[in-house]
Amino acid sequence: MKITISVIKADIGSIGGHIKPSESLLETVTDYISEYGKGFLKDFYISFTGDDIAILMTHTLGKGNEKIHKLAWEAFKAGTLVAKNQGLYGAGQDLLKDSFSGNIKGMGPAVAEIETEERPNEPFLFFAADKTEPGAYNLPLYLGFTDPMYCAGLLLSPDMTKGFKFTIMDVAHTKGDKIIHLNSPEDIYDIAALLRDNDRFVVESIYSRNSGEQAAAVSTTRLHNIAGKYTGKDDPVMLIRVQKNFPATGEILGPYSIGHLVGGFMRGSHTGPLMPVKLNSTISYFDGPPVVSCAAFCVHNGKLTEPVDAFDHPYWDFVRDKVSQKAYDIRRQGFSGPAMLPYSELEYGGIVEILKRLEKKFKVRK
Ligand code: 13P
Ligand code: 13P
Ligand code: MG
Ligand code: MG
């Protein structure tokens, strides 16, 4: 059976700043999807990560389907009304357009979708990150899919010997989707050369070269490109199919032990370590640190199992302690050097205005 897994995520308001959506907001989105998705959704799952709500859906309508995208858009609109009534912060933050125009891509919410012939056993992972950007997944994807130091299956499994095809997007190009296809293992230096630049080049999808099947889909929305100004970080979602022709679950999770430094954190303008957190976690220290959650599922005939929280295990408590130390260390230097993002990435206008004002006062000494 051919099914599509779609995840659509938005920040439509949260309690106490950019921390967590309210219970009534989550209820409203859940009720809307359950009521209006009747008849065409096979299944769905609603969750939050920090201040973002994600709607995970299974159906047979394919990728980029208007009915599916509109359902999510309208659910977020209904939620926004509740957010306004509750006085939530940033009500409707990610809904950047007034009316729905066929595809939710380019309207604010983040989208990741995989259409596939369901395997007899179909395990997959759903990742959601907050207070960071889509490129935050670049390093873990590179390591999980190309590096035998992390992905033992590249050496041990006959199903992965041909490697993977990466589609990478240049997200600085705003007039359309500018993409490149590169193959691992032969192009890994080229892949690395692009993926080191998290805010410019972002993995959009990965395909198995053994079977041709899609392994991964990442949301690549850049909100400030759509709105033309800062509107919050583009907190990304991702889907990854695992096992058999794809890396094992643990090979995909492994690289999150690093707590690598990513852009985001306070006001989307800082550098901080990416902390793997439990499902439905909130945000705290310095509007961060940047977080990532992972729900593991199996799906059969479009019906989802219950989610298993992939980062709820004693091992990840140890990782979280180390990542907290890393966050504390970089925060001690405040605005200085790499702790704050470079001028080109500063999403709030304030510093841009200060520099413009000071430029007039500068004089070249005679
Ligand atoms: P099992 O032998 O338990 O199926 O595990 C295989 C595997 O891939 C573990 O990473
Ligand atoms: P979000 O992008 O998660 O809304 O966070 C914005 C922000 O400014 C946090 O300090
Ligand atoms: Mg927010
Ligand atoms: Mg957010």
Interval 57-80: pLDDT, tens: 999 999 999 999 999 999 999 999
* CB 18 less than 6 A from any atom of ligand 2: yes
Residue 358 covered by a domain: no
Ligand 1 atom at minimal distance to the Cα of residue 243:
8
Q: How confident is the model at residue 81 (pLDDT cuts 50, 70, 90)?
A: very high
Residue 342 covered by a domain: yes
Phi, psi of 89 (to 5 degrees): -75, 135
Provide the domain limits for residue 242.
Answer: 2-353
Q: What is the mean pLDDT of the chain?
A: 94
Residue 363 covered by a domain: no
Cα–Cα separations (whole angstroms), residue 104 to 107, 109, 127:
5, 7, 19
Q: In what order do the strands lie in the sheet with 52-59?
A: 43-49, 52-59, 2-10, 110-117
Burial 248-277 (b: 16+ CB within 10 A, else e): bbebbbbbbbbbbbbbbbbbbbbbbbbbbb
Q: How confident is the model at residue 228 (pLDDT cuts 50, 70, 90)?
A: low
Condensed to tens digits (0 to 9), the pLDDT of residues 247-295 reads: 999 999 999 999 999 999 999 999 999 999 999 999 999 999 999 999 9
Condensed to tens digits (0 to 9), the pLDDT of residues 132-185 reads: 999 999 999 999 999 999 999 999 999 999 999 999 999 888 777 899 999 999
Active centre residues (catalytic): 11, 230, 233
Q: What is the mean pLDDT of residues 28-47?
A: 98
Contacts of 167 (CB under 8 A, 6+ apart): 179, 180, 181, 203, 204, 205, 206, 207
Q: How confident is the model at residue 225 (pLDDT cuts 50, 70, 90)?
A: low
Length reported for the chain: 366
Ligand number nearest to the C-alpha of 91: 3
Cα–Cα separations (whole angstroms), residue 167 to 22, 216, 253, 344:
36, 10, 21, 25
Q: What is the mean pLDDT of residues 86-101?
A: 92
* CB 270 less than 6 A from any atom of ligand 2: no
Q: Measured over all CA atoms, what is the biggest interatomic distance in the chain, rounded to whole angstroms?
A: 78
Q: How far is the CA of 14 from the centre of ligand 3 (A)?
A: 7
Which pLDDT does position 250 carry in this prediction?
A: 98
Residue 60 covered by a domain: yes
Work out the burial of residue 204: count CB atoms within 10 Å of its CB; fewer than 13 is exposed, 13-18 middle, 19 or more buried. Answer: buried
Torsional sign, CA 62, 63, 66, 72: positive
Ligand number nearest to the C-alpha of 287: 2
* CB 320 less than 6 A from any atom of ligand 2: no
Ligand 2 atom 1, closest CA: 232
Residue 83 covered by a domain: yes
Lowest-confidence segment of 101-105, 136-140, 193-197 by average pLDDT: 101-105
Share of the chain above pLDDT 70, in %: 96
* CB 268 less than 6 A from any atom of ligand 2: yes
Lowest-confidence segment of 27-36, 95-104, 139-148, 339-348 by average pLDDT: 339-348
* CB 248 less than 6 A from any atom of ligand 1: yes
Residue 210 covered by a domain: yes
CA dist., res. 66 & res. 341, Å (int): 37
* CB 226 less than 6 A from any atom of ligand 1: no
CA dist., res. 331 & res. 340, Å (int): 9
Q: Which of 4, 218, 212 is nearest to 132 (CA)?
A: 218
Contacts of 23 (CB under 8 A, 6+ apart): none
* CB 233 less than 6 A from any atom of ligand 2: yes
Q: Is the confidence at residue 233, as pLDDT, over 80? A: no
Q: How far is the CA of 269 from the centre of ligand 3 (A)?
A: 14
Ligand 1 atom at minimal distance to the Cα of residue 249:
10
In the chain the first and final C-alpha atoms are separated, in Å, by 77
Ligand 1 atom 4, closest CA: 243
Domain count, the chain: 1
Pair of tokens at residue 45: 């799952």
Ligand 1 atom 6, closest CA: 248
CA dist., res. 112 & res. 206, Å (int): 12
Ligand 1 atom at minimal distance to the Cα of residue 251:
10
Pair of tokens at residue 10: 């938005």
Ligand 2 atom 9, closest CA: 267
Pair of tokens at residue 60: 């047979």
Ligand 1 atom 5, closest CA: 248
Contacts of 186 (CB under 8 A, 6+ apart): 163
